[in-house]
Each structure stands twice: as structure tokens, then as C-alpha cells.
Amino acid sequence: MSRATKRKHVVKEVLGDFITPTENQQIVKVIGSRGNNLHQTVTAQGETFLVSMPTKFRKNIWIKRGDFVIVDPIEEGEKVKAEISFILYKDHIQYLQKQQLW
């Protein structure tokens, strides 16, 4: 698969799908980038930790400070406690608010 084709599929997946978090996933806010595909996040309860960006999003999707993401916890992680599974944009947040999951 070429790089352009991969980017097209990843972008279509991120922008097109409306998902809801499962019971072990949680919604967190990105408060900064630490480099090496790691991002500092904060939960609704105020807990801060690092999350990693999976390979499929790297160089295809950009995350900036203030964005919301859905993360999957990593059990064996000490510093990096979760991995990004989905990036939430304005339309996704409005969908979650209508479903009363926000």
C-alpha cells in the first residue's frame, strides 16, 4: 500500500466513524506534546499521564494541545499508561453530547 493510499484510509477512518468509548476506554484532553510520539494528557478527575500514538496515526494525523482523544489503558505501563485509539473532532464531540456520554 502506498503512503498516499494509507493516509487516505486513515483519514477516512478518523473523520468518518462515530464511536463511543467502551467501559475500559476513557476520554482525555491533550495538554502537551513530549516528543517521540508521546503526549501529556489529563483526565476529567485531574490525573495526568503520558499516552503513546500508534503507528497508523504517525505522520498521517496531527494532534495539538487542547484536543480530546479516546485512549486504551496499558497495564504494564509505568510512565506511559495508555495508547490513543481514536481522535475526537468537533463533530464527534457533538455526537457524544447527543448520546449523553460527554
Buried b (16+ CB within 10 A) or exposed e, 54-79: eeebeeebebeeebbbbbbeeeeeee
Which residue, chain included where needed, has cell 480530546? Answer: 68
Euclidean distance between CA atoms 29 and 23, whole angstroms: 18
- Range 3-98 has CATH code 3.40.190.10: no
Residue-level pLDDT at 42: 96
Q: What is the pLDDT along the chain (102 residues), one digit of tens a residue?
A: 676 665 556 565 655 667 788 889 999 999 999 989 999 999 999 999 999 998 887 877 888 899 999 999 998 878 899 999 988 988 888 888 888 877
pLDDT given for residue 77 in this prediction: 75
Query: Can you give the residue ranges of every domain in the chain?
Result: 3-98
CA-nearest of 86, 31, 32 to 57 is: 86
DSSP H helical ranges for 1-102: 3-16, 90-98
Given this model, what pLDDT does residue 16 score?
Answer: 65
